Structure 1
């Protein structure tokens, strides 16, 4: 029986991170429905949890409904790629007091898409999920995840009991910005040079690019918040080292011939910089180079 504190959740974007979130919600007792254009069907997803102590497989049965068949949605988790956010939200009907959790890379992808009275909760995760190549999803790391944005909702503790390392952040900006800078460095550089994350630490030219991207990003965030420490390089290097063998999502998008999330990551920094009268030449060059690799 569904936990009354969690109720029914609809999910847009049941990819790697979206499927992991659906698993945690289902384990906590929530009723889960995926939203995707096309015929209604049931999708079976096999999650393989690869921890240091053991490997376990956990199936996820996810009913999928086309947007027009969905009732007005009161609780929605958005985990699709950021370029598709506006179109995805336009297809569904939200209740006047709907809660929307955004679990995506970058920032700003849902800005202006919710009505007054509808609540946005921002999510940031360091967990990592990879495609196993045989239809399964391999959970290679269950790391810290933060939700935040206003008061803690009544359902949060019930979900946190089944979502490892999930915490509520009264101020969500610090974890958001730390993740943003890591993404703004690792994603485009690995995509442009077609290398795994760890390779960025092995070449002097790529380390120079990393340092320039970090310095420009820190300059923007320090203007937005004078309390920002603006010393992000070591943390970004730690992420690159800890995920050395990983393929970034942007590199995977380029390989797949897909549109990337560059506008919600580096593009967000460029927008804020323009508002502040700052110039970010390295980010401008990197964004243009990534767009040149995207499909027309």
Structure 2
């Protein structure tokens, strides 16, 4: 049993907190203390999450050895800045977010002995209120190494924090491919569920198929031009599998639009549009969706 700190008390952060607390001492770093204990609902059963809330203050004496950062893509930079002074010299840092974020900016701030990992998960979770999260679907979780130290540590951390704790979890050897695969699922699901305010499973209706095909075709063309070989058929299969496994879940972007919050569309369709421009690949459908959701902010 070891100490784990989680940044981000959202649906995924709290679901990770619950799973990891089965074997480890878990603290959740939060800006505002919850008025009562966090709870999680799964398989028609509700139970408390065994995690302690922690607020980072200048006077706090804290050494973080294992840090899971589960925030929005646009919040990663601030989250890293917040925890960096508290990270031990040999800390393991795990980042999980939708879309793409330039992890090289994070790596530059770490010491040679600090390991950075990326987590891609298809688990579905919905935050019912500030204190209650519900598991709404199950899917594969992958972990990949982002720097040299992580490559040497990945087997050990997988055994410690993932194997037997999170169902259907695997080590992924190619972090660039892993992040693109995650991005493609996000492109297929998040924007359309946000615009139409529907759960993931409803995207399997035929009326959405042409749009999903167009979005993924553009994204796969950009990826292939960038040297990441992902067949369109594989991207479609992955997206529809996640839709099926998380059919009743409302995506994080759908929730953001519903509650008037900023979305991660810049890191999803926006990333494809920007990369397409630099590689001279047209991405009109992604640009259209980017504009539609940007206007909703």
TM-score bracket relative to the smaller structure: 0.7 to 0.9
What TM-score does the superposition give when structure 2 sets the normalisation length?
0.85
CA drift of 1:241 comes to 4.1
Deviations for 1:8-67, whole angstroms, at most 9, x for unmatched residues? Answer: 221110221111111222112x2212112246x7852221222xxxx4333213222222
Please, which of 65, 75, 97 is the counterpart of residue 54 of structure 2?
65
CA drift of 1:101 comes to 0.2
Q: CA 1:133–1:23 in 2, change beyond 3 Å: closer, same or farther?
A: closer
Whether 1:285 and 2:288 are equivalent positions in the alignment is yes
Whether 1:106 and 2:99 are equivalent positions in the alignment is yes
Whether 1:36 and 2:30 are equivalent positions in the alignment is yes
Q: Report the more deviating stretch, 263-272 or 210-219.
A: 263-272
Q: CA 1:11–1:241 in 2, change beyond 3 Å: closer, same or farther?
A: closer
1:126 alignment counterpart: 122
Q: Is the 8 A contact 2:123 2:246 kept in 1?
A: no
Whether 1:25 and 2:20 are equivalent positions in the alignment is yes
Please, which of 271, 276, 284 is the counterpart of residue 273 of structure 1?
276
Secondary structure of residue in 2 paired with 1:170 = coil
Whether 1:196 and 2:199 are equivalent positions in the alignment is yes
Deviations for 1:85-144, whole angstroms, at most 9, x for unmatched residues? Answer: 222222222334432101221221644134242321010111111234694322132321
Give the alignment's Cα RMSD to 1 decimal: 2.4
Whether 1:15 and 2:6 are equivalent positions in the alignment is no
2:231 alignment counterpart: 229
Deviations for 1:141-184, whole angstroms, at most 9, x for unmatched residues? Answer: 23211111123242321321222222212223444323311211
Secondary structure of residue in 2 paired with 1:177 = helix
Please, which of 8, 32, 41 is the counterpart of residue 48 of structure 1?
41
Any stretches of 5+ residues in structure 2 without a counterpart? Answer: 146-150
Secondary structure of residue in 2 paired with 1:67 = coil
Secondary structure of residue in 2 paired with 1:293 = coil
